[in-house]
């Protein structure tokens, strides 16, 4: 407890006798493990009955398991932009009629945006991204131009550059029974394409090797390691060690391989004496892609999945691990992936940018056990439209819509639907009529938010050529 208080005030790590790489002089390391299309209900500790995730369950038991943590968008590119910049995707222009960036997109995350890696490199951190970028694949937009010293991974989603169906969209059948050669997606090391098509069977294994090597190589300096796995986005691939082993089928194989990867990352931190000076976060970029049935994940108790602004689309696992500093706890505080930007910068002692709006909040009081989390509002966007808002336990839907290509149709609600997420996490019982004062309050919050928000130009729709 003394140690926790000391840390809260000085924002430095806890020194312990057997951890030789920590000390009051050295700021903490950060590892963010960011999985793709993994739903709230896909881990054992979040209630999955057949997917086995002993490493993540142990991480959760040793740290904080958050039950109200959100991806900031319900699809890939905007969600990643929000996490890395601490800002709503609208501010950086990471939106458009094209919901994400594609291999023929001509744009990417603007140079003017400040990515976590950039801010930390400025104060002496070694930085790496091991995994999927998806914020622009043209040279000027690559991770190495956004503050990362090192990159190993894919420039965009693993279902892109399809060779199967003409026009770039892979046939559905090819997604359920995929082969490496169906997806001509490149693998990069720094700015160099080193393999094409990427051997997706070994991707999770190679990400793990790269991540653990980075940790060992940088054990003597502060580091920021961002591991955005390409899995469990369809098409699903797993290495020989895992393929065909899970009671939950191929989706289970993929999650269990990620779980093994998390175990190796934490073990490496322990072996190098870094565990007590490293904050590790595990979360997902959006909810499960339900259209892919047994190849998609589970939102657990929540409604709908990826692509929607129901809870299933954006509420995701959120696990925080920092032995000796974060005490084991289940927390119901609200958190957004955007908050990781502000939290990490604050804990590192870096300055949070003052020249722009930062939407992320500092979660460290909740993490360190010194107070409640600061977030009381959550904004649910679909592209550039505010579909829903949450304040405390109440959520109002102004517009509802199913995932792309799936029902239900887009429906405007006036008055909005109102749900109490504490009593009704599944968003089943509209209580707007019983609580007009809550509806009014949420409408006011939404209006105030809209008035203040200045979106950048939509950059996803610059396509073609290339």
User: Vertex 353, ends 324 and 453: CA angle to 5°?
Assistant: 115
Element of type H or E holding 385? strand 385-391
What's the min distance (Å) between Cβ of 406 and a second copy?
13
Active site residue 48: no
Which lies closer to a second copy via its Cβ, residue 130 or residue 363? 363
What's the min distance (Å) between Cβ of 202 and a second copy?
23
What's the min distance (Å) between Cβ of 335 and a second copy?
13
Which lies closer to a second copy via its Cβ, residue 90 or residue 418? 418
Which lies closer to a second copy via its Cβ, residue 409 or residue 423? 423
d(CA 260, CA 241): 11
What's the min distance (Å) between Cβ of 172 and a second copy?
14
Q: Looking at 89, 134, 229, 233, which residue is catalytic?
A: 134
Buried b (16+ CB within 10 A) or exposed e, 243-268: eeebebebbbbbbbbbbbbbbbbbeb
Q: Looking at 76, 137, 146, 397, which residue is catalytic?
A: 76
Dig out the tokens for 350 from the structure: 């870096």
Element of type H or E holding 7? helix 2-10
Q: Which residues bind a second copy (CB under 8 A)?
A: 40-41, 44-50, 52, 54, 57, 61, 67-68, 246-249, 251-252, 293-294, 298, 300-301, 315, 330, 332, 393, 420-426, 428-429
Calculate the dihedral angle through the C-alpha atoms of 75, 76, 82, 84, rounding to the nearest 10 degrees.
160
Eight-class DSSP state of 183: B
Which lies closer to a second copy via its Cβ, residue 49 or residue 166? 49
Active site residue 229: no
Side by side, the strands of the sheet bearing 377-382 are 377-382, 385-391, 394-400, 411-420
What's the min distance (Å) between Cβ of 253 and a second copy?
11
What's the min distance (Å) between Cβ of 60 and a second copy?
10
Of 65, 133, 116, nearest to 343 by C-alpha is: 116
Which lies closer to a second copy via its Cβ, residue 50 or residue 411? 50
In order of 61, 101, 154, 177, 385, the CA distances from 95 in angstroms are 37, 9, 20, 31, 11
Task: Spell out the residues 6+ positions from residue 149 whose beta carbon is closer than 8 angstroms to its own.
Answer: 121, 126, 127, 128
Active site residues: 76, 134
């Amino acid at each position: 407890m003394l140690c926790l208080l000391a840390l809260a005030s000085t924002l430095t790590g806890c020194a312990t006798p057997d951890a030789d790489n920590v000390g009051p002089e050295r700021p903490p390391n950060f590892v963010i493990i960011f999985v793709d299309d993994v739903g709230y209900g896909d881990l054992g500790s979040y209630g999955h009955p057949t997917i086995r995730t002993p490493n993540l369950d142990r991480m959760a038991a040793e740290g904080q398991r958050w039950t109200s943590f959100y991806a900031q968008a319900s699809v890939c590119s905007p969600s990643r932009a929000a996490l890395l910049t601490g800002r709503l995707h609208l501010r950086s222009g990471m939106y458009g009629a094209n919901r994400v960036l594609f291999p023929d997109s001509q744009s990417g995350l603007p140079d003017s945006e400040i990515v976590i890696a950039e801010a930390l490199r400025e104060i002496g951190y070694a930085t790496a991204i091991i995994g999927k970028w998806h914020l622009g694949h043209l040279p000027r937009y690559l991770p190495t131009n956004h503050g990362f010293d090192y990159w190993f991974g894919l420039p965009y989603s693993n279902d892109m550059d399809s060779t199967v169906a003409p026009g770039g969209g892979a046939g559905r059948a090819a997604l359920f029974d995929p082969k490496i050669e169906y997806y001509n997606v490149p693998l990069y090391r720094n700015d160099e394409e080193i393999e094409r098509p990427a051997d997706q069977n070994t991707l999770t294994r190679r990400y793990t090797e790269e991540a653990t090597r980075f940790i060992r190589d940088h054990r003597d300096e502060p580091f920021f390691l961002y591991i955005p796995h390409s899995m469990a986005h369809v098409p699903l691939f797993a290495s020989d060690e895992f393929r065909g082993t899970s009671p939950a089928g191929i989706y289970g194989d993929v999650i269990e391989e990620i779980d093994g990867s998390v175990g190796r990352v934490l073990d490496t931190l322990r072996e190098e004496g870094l565990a007590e000076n490293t904050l590790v976060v595990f979360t997902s970029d959006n909810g499960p892609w339900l259209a892919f049935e047994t190849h998609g994940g589970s939102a657990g108790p929540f409604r709908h999945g990826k692509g929607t602004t129901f809870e299933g689309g954006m509420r995701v696992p959120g696990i925080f691990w920092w032995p000796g500093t974060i005490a084991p706890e289940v927390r119901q505080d609200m958190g957004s992936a955007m908050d990781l930007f502000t939290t990490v910068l604050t804990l590192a002692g870096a300055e949070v940018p003052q020249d722009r709006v930062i939407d992320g909040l500092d979660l460290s009081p909740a993490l360190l056990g010194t107070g409640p989390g600061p977030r009381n509002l959550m904004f649910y966007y679909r592209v550039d439209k505010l579909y829903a808002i949450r304040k405390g336990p109440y959520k109002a839907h102004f517009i509802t819509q199913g995932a792309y290509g799936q029902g239900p149709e887009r429906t405007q609600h006036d008055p909005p639907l109102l749900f109490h997420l504490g009593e009704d996490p599944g968003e089943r019982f509209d209580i707007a009529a019983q609580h007009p004062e809550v509806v009014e309050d949420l409408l006011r919050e939404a209006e105030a938010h809209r008035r203040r928000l200045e979106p950048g130009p939509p950059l996803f729709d610059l396509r073609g050529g290339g």
